[in-house]
Structure formats: structure tokens, C-alpha cells
Chain A
Amino acid sequence: MVTAARSDISDPREAMIWAALDEIADPEIPTISVVELGVIGGFAFEPGLNGGERLTVELLPTFIGCPAVEIMREQVGERLRSLEVADDVEVEISFAEPWTSDRISPAGREKLCASGFAPPTPIALEAPSVNPDDLLTMLEIAVCPYCGSRNTTLDNPFGPTLCRAIYHCDACHQPFEQFKTV
């Protein structure tokens, strides 16, 4: 699917769609929108089956098993149908281009931090390896979202949802969660 990138906002219709999508909150961390989270791969207008125009939106799950994906899919479909910009709206879940935590926008990272989540460490992940020396250096230090200290300890690389890890800040003694680097 050829998709409209976020920068293509010179087209008023596309700008309206991006704005509408930006109003949809992540179901698990509602302070951040699905656009800021980077799960909207893009969208395209195509000829529909019955002669009209179909809007197809590509949704990239943060984690493959994320149970919130279906909720996002419904919300995106419902919101875009209400705009009446196409005769039909389809939301496709896609892995053609994998979502990575680098897709979270700078604004999204700030909002995560403001609501007590350490944003993911920026990465360019290479292939996984079974060399344990590589594995154990995989998790970078998370910065405490409350006091900004890097003196933090990983408690558990797995947290209350698939996308979160649990840390402890040794400076301000607060437990906090990190949006996982993936």
C-alpha cells in the first residue's frame, strides 16, 4: 500500500485525517495519541468495490500479541468513518514494516515522561543473538521520569503489559515503568 506520510499535510483532506487520528488515545496509556505512538503506518485512498472511494489505514501493532490492537482498530475505523471523507474505511493490521519504539514521536516521548513512563531508549536494533554477553547488555539504562536520574535498576524486563518494563530509581526511590525498547 502506498501511504500518505505524516509530512504530506499540504492536502487539506489528509491534514484532516491526521488531525482526527491524533485525537485517538492509546487505550493503555491514554495521555499519548496513536499518531504520537507511531502505530499509524499511513493511509491511502483507493477505488472501492462499489465504485466509490475506499480509505485504507495501516495500523502497526507495538507488540504482536498486544490485546489493545483490536480496540485501536475499531476506534480508528469509527473516527474516520465519522469524517465522511470516503465511502468505505478499512483498517489493516500490518507487519510489512515493523513498529519499533523509535517510531514514538518527540512529543509522544515527552508525554510518556510527564505521565511517569520512561520513554524507550532510542535504538537501531540488530539481529538477536544467542551470545549471552550481547544479551545482557541489551537493556540500556532507563532515565527516571520523576527526578531525571540515571541511577536506576531494572526490576523486571516484563511488566503489567507486553510493552512495559519495571524499574526502580535508586536516587528518588520511586518505582517506575519504561516503555520497552523494541
Chain B
Amino acid sequence: MSTGVRSSNADAARPLAHATRDALAELLLSIADDEFVIGFWDSEWTGIAPILEEDVATSSISQDEIGHARALYELLAELTGDDADRIAFGREPDAYRHAALLNHPRTDWAFSVARRYLYETADAVRLEALSRSSYEPLAGLVAKMRREERYHLMHLDAWLRRLADAGGDARARLAEALTRLWPDAMTIFTPLGGEATLVAEGLLPEPMETLRERWLTQVVPILETLSLPVPSGDERGAPLTDGGRTQRTDDFRWLHGEFTMVARSEEGAAW
């Protein structure tokens, strides 16, 4: 990962107040970590995906996500005067801020499809909102990300239907994974500490809670049509606590060891 990715609009952006900058940094970090961690989890399928075409597809999608993470880490580094490589690879596992959905290992193919379907659909809602952000460097990058993410959405929609329609073991595993993952998928929309500031200033055009409801309104009917598990009314409305982006698992600690291995082997190396 090298430096230099930035929006030329950043030069013209008016300086942000400290509280706003900190809140924006938290927002950027949470999205970047989501993209980074799901990219690394699904890259674990490279070479062993169910069919050759899928091996190519899942590798390509993972490469997109890690690319998005890189660009977001660059924006964050520019905002806070940090270094993108350090943010990506230089933190301890507990300092990552990805959603609890991304704490799980890849498990089996149905599990990875279920997770990525929930993630892509939620991410689409989040990115649509951020494309309207008053922070121009983010709005510009997100506009570009959305052009790529629509391929991911299409692909995961196809896989969801394929496994659901297959019946038997494939459908059973998919349903089981969705049941297990729904509560953690909600944590993508965990309210941020400085969210009120971000919303008031238009950096985050709508609260996370509003985005969660929009996502559920879109996705639940699709899953119901396929007779797949959806959250109950109570689960849909349950408030999200702070822990959704801070609790880490041993599975993630293992992945962290994998993706930081090269960076740790030669500290300070440039590539």
C-alpha cells in the first residue's frame, strides 16, 4: 500500500472543528475497517471457492473491498495527519472498529454468501447516504465506490437465490447462517459517538438508525419472498448498543495475525 490517494477537493475544504473532525474520523474508520476485514475474510476463498468462476469473482470482490478500504484509510490519514499503512496494519486487534458481523470466520460457502449478502445490501444503503455527504472528499470517493459495489450486489443477489432455490443442504445452511447473522448484521448501523454532530453538519446526511430501518424495509421483503429467516418485529426495533463495533473475537484475532504478518516482519518497510 502506498500513499498519494487523495481527493484534490480536500485542499479547498474548510477546516473542521475538533469535535467534528474526531466524529468524522470515527465514521471513516468504521467504514474502512468493515471493507478491509470483509475483504480479508473473503480472500480466504481464493483457490478453494466452490467453482472456478466463483474463485475469480470472490477474489475480485475482495480486491475491490481492500481497495476501498485503502482509499478510505488515505482519507482518514489526510484528515488526522496519520499514515494509512499504520492505520491499516499497525493497530492491535482491539483498536479495529468493524461491525460484529465481520468478527466471524468465513465458515462454509452458505455462511459467506449470507454474510456478504447482508453486508452488501446494508453497505449500499450507507453509501447512498454518504454520497450526499457535505464532506466532498468522502462524497466523491463514495460515488466511485457505488459504481463498483453494484456488481457485488448483483452477484450476491444471484447467489442468495441460487442457494435458496437449491433446497436441501444448501438452503438449510443458508437459512441457519442468516438466523445466526441477523443480530450481528444490525451492528453495521451502530450509532457513532459523535453522530449528532455529523448529522447536524450534513457530513452524515441521516442517522444510522434511519439507515438501518431503510435497509430492513428493502431487504426483509426479499428474504420473506424466498421464505428465508428475517428478524422479528422486536429484533428490528431493538436499540443498538455501543458494543457493536468494539467487541473482538478470537477468530478476528487470528485473521489480524494473518493480515499483519508481512507488515510485522519488516517494520517500517515501504512497498
> Do A and B associate with each other?
yes
Given known A66-B67, A135-B150, A135-B153, contact A156–B140 (CB-CB < 8 A)? no
- Quick check: is B21 within 8 A (CB to CB) of the other chain? no
A65 adjacent to B66 (CB under 8 Å) = yes
A128 adjacent to B64 (CB under 8 Å) = no
Given known A64-B68, A132-B222, contact A138–B154 (CB-CB < 8 A)? yes
A95 adjacent to B140 (CB under 8 Å) = yes
B150 adjacent to A128 (CB under 8 Å) = yes
Bits for A58-76, please: 1 = Cβ < 8 Å to B, else 0: 1001011110001001000
* Interface-facing stretch out of B55-63, B93-101, B170-178: B55-63
| Bound: A100/B2 CA distance, A | 24
Given known A130-B218, A132-B157, contact A162–B60 (CB-CB < 8 A)? yes
Nearest-neighbour CB distance to chain B for A6, whole angstroms, equals 18
| Bound: A162/B124 CA distance, A | 19
Chain A residues with CB under 8 Å of B158's CB are: 136
Number of inter-chain CB pairs below 8 Å: 121
B124 adjacent to A130 (CB under 8 Å) = yes
A100 adjacent to B56 (CB under 8 Å) = no
Chain A residues with CB under 8 Å of B2's CB are: 70
Chain B residues with CB under 8 Å of A136's CB are: 154, 157-158
Chain A residues with CB under 8 Å of B56's CB are: 156, 158-160, 166
Given known A155-B53, A157-B57, contact A64–B8 (CB-CB < 8 A)? no
A98 adjacent to B150 (CB under 8 Å) = no
Given known A135-B154, A158-B57, contact A96–B222 (CB-CB < 8 A)? no
Interface size in chain A (residues, C-beta < 8 A): 40
Chain A residues with CB under 8 Å of B22's CB are: none
Nearest-neighbour CB distance to chain A for B129, whole angstroms, equals 11
> When the two chains form the complex, which single residue of B57, B124, B145, B222 contacts A64, counting CB atoms closer than 8 Å?
B145
Chain B residues with CB under 8 Å of A100's CB are: 147
- Quick check: is B81 within 8 A (CB to CB) of the other chain? no
- Quick check: is B256 within 8 A (CB to CB) of the other chain? no
Task: Using A63-B64, A65-B68 as known contacts, list a sample of 20 further A-B pairs with CB atoms less than 8 Å apart, ordered by residue number in A.
Answer: A64-B141, A73-B4, A92-B4, A94-B6, A95-B143, A96-B8, A97-B140, A127-B146, A128-B124, A128-B127, A128-B150, A128-B153, A130-B153, A130-B157, A132-B161, A135-B157, A157-B151, A157-B155, A158-B151, A159-B60
Chain B interfacial positions (CB closer than 8 Å to A): 2, 4-9, 53, 56-57, 59-61, 63-68, 70-71, 121, 124-125, 127-128, 131, 136-137, 140-141, 143-151, 153-155, 157-158, 161, 218-219, 222
A-B complex: 10 closest residue pairs judged by Cβ atoms:
A65-B67, A128-B150, A158-B60, A158-B57, A98-B144, A135-B154, A64-B67, A95-B141, A156-B53, A95-B140
Q: List 12 A-B contacts (CB under 8 A).
A: A65-B66, A92-B6, A95-B144, A100-B147, A128-B150, A130-B218, A131-B218, A135-B154, A156-B53, A156-B57, A159-B60, A162-B148
